[in-house]
Amino acid sequence: MGRKAMPIQLHLLQGNKNRLTKKEIEQRVEAEKRLKPKANKVKPPAWLSDEAKKEFKRIVKEMQDLDLLTNIDVDALALYCDAYVNYIECTRIIAEEGLMVEYTNKAAETNKVPHPLLTKKKQLHEQMKSLAAEFGLTPAARAKLAIAKEDKKPKMEEEELFGDAL
């Protein structure tokens, strides 16, 4: 399977490993500008709980200056916020009831078993982790965005004159 396509700005931040020419870069920039969705309706959907809406607004406020969120990202961010609130609720219930709960089987035997919500909590964690990476909400995801381009050596006179034509 091939690699995921990445925005040209991110590609350039990572050092232009595909050796795109200036013309190809300009074409990609223009194409991405034409394809970029609007960002005038980045609001929490009505179906979110009040707590999830609060988290949604917090993230949007924090990411406002990055100019990454668009109208079509709303649902994915809402899913993250919904999972976040459910994760907190699972954590609260487990803290109240304990990690081990009593379970009575069909033979009327009572045993201590791990809390059933531990499985749900793990699923929510995985969902949040994958969505957080997509939005740059983790340190590792932000580090990928912040990789600075490095000039390994100063340009020679010919490179200054002829650029990528060499």
Give the per-residue pLDDT at 41: 81
**62 located within any domain:** yes
Task: Give the contacts of 50 (CB within 8 A, at least 6 positions apart).
Answer: none
Query: What's the structural domain count of the chain?
Result: 2
Q: Confidence band (pLDDT; 50, 70, 90) for 117?
A: very high
Model-wide pTM > 0.85: no
**58 located within any domain:** yes
**4 located within any domain:** yes
**141 located within any domain:** no
> Do residues 48 and 128 both lie within one domain?
yes
State the alpha helices, DSSP H only, in the chain: 8-13, 22-35, 50-63, 74-97, 117-135, 139-146, 157-162
**82 located within any domain:** yes
> Do residues 26 and 51 both lie within one domain?
no
Q: Calculate the average pLDDT of the chain.
A: 82
